[in-house]
Amino acid sequence: MKILFLGYKNCKLHKFLSSKYTVVQTENKITFDDYRDIDYIISFGYKHIINKYIIDLFKPNIINLHISYLPYNKGSHPNFWSFKDNTPKGVTIHLIDEGIDTGDILIQKEIIFSKEENTLSKTYDRLINEIQDLFIENCDNILNGNLKPKKQKGKGTFNYKKDLQKHKDLLTKEWDTKINKI
């Protein structure tokens, strides 16, 4: 199997996949040459919108790993918004469709943070680790299509990158801000 891995190169998920499959990785906006002879696309920390043509071509073998408990906190900075809006915290692996973080859910996990995980940075690190572990534990079922996709229930919430600017005053220590200050 040949996988196009969109996003973080230096992560345990990329290393895991590379040990089992042929993996092509990029953080750049993909072009036709990037997905020639690809069997699967996995997006994790990818900052670009994927062209509808590519999505349609790869359905259902195109997924995203998102560090929120969808349908809550779609879009940018989901960890921040889960605390600001007091919504469920967690991680979700979902199919990619034309919307932003709106695809059917393959698997998700709600996360409860410990008292020691008391900053945005610490909770972000935990979410990043949890989603990679969730994928690795369920890799065969995900890539073999053994998980039944489920529609997202409810409208949830969505935020653009620019929405954070309105609340920058809350980030007194940037990402090391205590979550009880949000």
What size, in residues, is the chain? Answer: 182
Q: Which residues contact 70 (CB under 8 A, 6 or more apart)?
A: 92, 94, 101, 105, 108, 152, 156
Give the residue from 11, 68, 71, 69 showing the smallest Cα distance to 42: 11
* Range among 46-50, 105-109, 152-156 with highest mean pLDDT value: 105-109
Question: What is the number of structural domains in the chain?
Answer: 1
Per-residue pLDDT tens digits for 55-70: 999 999 999 999 999 9
Peptide bond into 88 cis (omega under 30): no
Question: For all residues of the chain together, what is the average pLDDT?
Answer: 95
Q: What is the pLDDT of residue 34?
A: 73
Give the residue from 69, 120, 66, 119 showing the smallest Cα distance to 90: 69
Q: What is the pLDDT of residue 33?
A: 74
Task: Determine the Cα–Cα distance for residues 51 and 46; give it in Å rounded to an integer.
Answer: 13
Q: What is the pLDDT of residue 35?
A: 77
Q: Which residue range is the domain that position 157 belongs to?
A: 2-181
Strand pairing category for 74-75 and 158-159: parallel
What amino acid is encoded at 31 in this protein?
Answer: T
Q: Structure tokens of 106? A: 């393959």
For 174, left (φ over 0), alpha (ψ -120 to 50), or beta?
left
Q: What is the pLDDT of residue 3?
A: 97
* Ranges of H-type helices in 10-50: 12-20
Q: What is the mean pLDDT of residues 78-86?
A: 97
> Any idea what the CATH number is for the domain that residue 20 is in?
3.40.50.12230
CA distances from 116 to 63, 101, 112, 164 (A): 32, 29, 12, 25
Q: What is the pLDDT of residue 151?
A: 98
